[in-house]
Amino acid sequence: MTLELIVQVLAGAVVLGLGLWLAQRRYRQTFPRELDEALRIEESDPALGQLLVDQYFMRGAAHEDTARKKLWERAQEDLDAANELRRRLSDDLEADSLIQKDFKRSANGDLTRTLEMSQQSTREQIARLDEMIARIRGT
């Protein structure tokens, strides 16, 4: 794995975790059973609970990474795949923005830098997709 890919996967895991936390906080939605169990365990065994939470988010990030790689491959010639990937990337930008807004006062420098790097990378990917979409459409 390249360093850039590792940073993107870790940033994705951070964004996913913070996004779920934010969604639960804002909308009082319940978490998936596996995550609920990990959070419950974390109350009595913080180390094990945190390990289970980390594993949950890393699996989710790996699954999303695989799905996006497939979409990137298809997006070269498939307008639907390009649009789906663009939608996901736009959602990432929105989630990063909400996280920055929600953690504005308490965010440490590492989180701020991670979010900024994620946003920059996402904007670059959207620009590449926009070029692909224009090419596919013939415009």
Domain limits, the chain? 3-137
- Residue 40, class by beta-carbon neighbours within 10 Å (0-12 exposed, 13-18 middle, 19+ buried)? exposed
Give SS3 for 139: coil
pLDDT in tens, 86-102: 999 999 999 888 888 77
Distance of CA 136 to the CA centre of its chain: 27
32: DSSP letter: P
pLDDT in tens, 8-57: 666 777 777 767 666 665 554 567 888 888 888 888 998 998 898 889 88
Average pLDDT, the chain: 84
Comparing 7-16, 46-55, 63-72, 124-133, the range with the smallest average pLDDT is 7-16
